[in-house]
């Protein structure tokens, strides 16, 4: 059962108008990740993925991620649109944020734009922001969307959304 989309205010977009299958597009939004007093990532060259019912996920160019903090984690997962995902730990001093990032070494032809980019779950970091606004992580342990005031839901991942 499809839920009733939230009202859209000026300057907002509804996740219910996002496409299915998903797409990836460049964004000039200022994306920043901060943790333990460090800027982990800072870019205006991210790629955002859009999929019906999901807030955007932001893929950051590896060149805009603090060098030396990524360590490839074990395991992988498969996305029917993007291909096989590789997971990344983030190492900040003695702290290990396990499987907090993911990327596609060999994305499908439609998602080649994601090559050499890494997306991150927002929840474990001290702060993730889009254009200066602190994001709210998408609910559910598997989903990696970043919620801002510019997107309306309801969002996949909340209780009862499994079959959306």
**What's the token pair of residue 138?**
């998408």
Q: Are 45 and 142 in contact (CB under 8 A)?
A: no
Q: Say how many C-beta atoms besides its own lie within 10 A of residue 159's C-beta.
A: 7
Identify the pLDDT of residue 163. Answer: 83
Q: Say how many C-beta atoms besides its own lie within 10 A of residue 38's C-beta.
A: 13
Q: Are 148 and 91 in contact (CB under 8 A)?
A: no
Q: Are 148 and 10 in contact (CB under 8 A)?
A: no
Q: How far apart are CA 37 and CA 56, in angstroms?
A: 26
Identify the pLDDT of residue 64. Answer: 98
Identify the pLDDT of residue 22. Answer: 96
Residue 1's Cβ-side half-sphere holds a number of Cα atoms within 13 Å equal to: 3
Identify the pLDDT of residue 29. Answer: 98
Identify the pLDDT of residue 140. Answer: 87
**What's the token pair of residue 79?**
């996305």
If the chain, 164 residues long, is cut into consecutive pieces of 10 residues, what is the mean pLDDT of each piece?
91 97 97 98 98 97 98 95 97 97 97 98 98 96 94 94 86
3-state helix, strand, coil in the chain (%, to 5): 5, 50, 45
Identify the pLDDT of residue 159. Answer: 87
> Chain-centre distance of CA 29, in angstroms?
13
Identify the pLDDT of residue 141. Answer: 79
Identify the pLDDT of residue 160. Answer: 86
């Amino acid at each position: 059962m499809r839920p009733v989309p939230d009202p859209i205010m000026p300057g907002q977009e509804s996740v219910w108008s996002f496409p299915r299958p998903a797409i990836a597009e460049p964004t000039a939004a200022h994306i920043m990740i901060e943790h333990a007093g460090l800027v982990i990532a800072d870019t205006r060259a991210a790629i955002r993925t859009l999929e019906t019912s999901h807030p955007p996920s932001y893929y950051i160019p590896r060149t805009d991620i603090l060098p030396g903090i990524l360590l490839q984690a074990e395991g992988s997962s498969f996305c029917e649109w993007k291909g096989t995902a590789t997971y990344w730990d983030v190492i900040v001093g003695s702290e290990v944020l396990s499987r907090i990032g993911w990327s596609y070494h060999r994305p499908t032809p439609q998602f080649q734009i994601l090559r050499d980019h890494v997306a991150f779950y927002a929840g474990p970091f001290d702060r993730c922001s889009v254009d200066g606004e602190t994001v709210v992580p998408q609910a559910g342990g598997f989903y990696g969307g970043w919620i801002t005031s510019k997107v309306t839901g309801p969002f996949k991942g909340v209780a009862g959304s499994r079959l959306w």
